[in-house]
Structure formats: C-alpha cells, structure tokens
Amino acid sequence: MALDVKIREATLADLPWLLHHRRAMFQEMGFTDSAALDATVEYSEPYMRRGLTEGFYRGWVAEIDGKIAAGAGMVVTPWVANPRDWSARRVYILNVYTEPKYRRLGLARRIMERMIDWCREQGFGTVHLHATEVGRKLYESLGFQPSNEMRLALK
C-alpha cells in the first residue's frame, strides 16, 4: 500500500511542528540539557515566526495522512556576492528532521529536493548546510560537498 505523502511549504500554523523538530534534532545530536533545549525553542520561536511571515525563513513539511512526518527549513539572508554566487543573498538549510516512525521512507530526500528546486528557481548559485553524520550520506547523494568553513566557539 502506497503512503499518501504530500510535500508542501510550511505555514505559520506549522510553527509548533517546526519548533518541535528543531528541539528533537538537537536532542538526537546529543544535547541533553532540557533547559538549554527549552531555551532554544523559546528563543527560536520569535525569529521563525517573523521569518515565516516576512519570508526570510521558509519551511517545507512532509504530511502523511494529514500528519506532519518530517520537515526542514532554510534561512535566506542578504550576503555579499562572491565568484560562485552573485545573487547577494545566501541560503542556509537547517532543521532537517523526520519523526522516528516515518524514517527510511525518503521523506527528507523529497523535502531536500523540493528545497533545492526552489533555490534554483530563485537563482541561488550555492546552498549551504551543516551535516550530522546521520544526514551526511543523504546530502552527499544530492551533490553537497564539504567546504573549507571553520568555526570558533566564543562561549
């Protein structure tokens, strides 16, 4: 029996699910401090709410039988042009998450493909993300390559 899967752009009504996915993603990455996870949701909510309203945060979800089974988001920001991308914008994919009971159905791939198509339609030259070990194989299969980005933790 084939599942009835619908991939669609997220709306403001989906914000509780997007925040749930953000928290669950970090928890599965090994962050165990409940207070820190709660604060992550609390401080992410106004940004994501405003972003969904104004368009600088966009999300996509996979629904199965009317229930959200997976989701992902992206942030579109002004950015200085570079030789690979003259659009003066940058797109960063984040919060890719699939509910445990819906894993191994290709939902994350379908969402990523939809998001990448949207980025192409919008004229972006590159797409950025950080990969967990769990997600790396998917992203590599979609053509993502490691970059030279580095990070300095200030706290």
The pLDDT-based confidence of 2 (bands split at 50, 70, 90) is low
Q: Which CATH superfamily is domain 5-141 in?
A: Gcn5-related N-acetyltransferase (GNAT) (3.40.630.30)
- Stretch 41-62: mean pLDDT, rounded? 98
For residues 83-101, one letter each, b for 16 or more C-beta atoms within 10 angstroms of the residue's C-beta and e for the rest, the string is eebebebbbebbbbbbbee
- Stretch 48-54: mean pLDDT, rounded? 98
71-86 pLDDT tens trace: 999 999 999 988 888 8
The pLDDT-based confidence of 153 (bands split at 50, 70, 90) is confident
Domain spans in the chain, listed from the N-terminal domain onward: 5-141
The pLDDT-based confidence of 133 (bands split at 50, 70, 90) is confident
90-100 pLDDT tens trace: 999 999 999 99
Angle at 64 between CA 51 and CA 135, to 5 degrees: 65
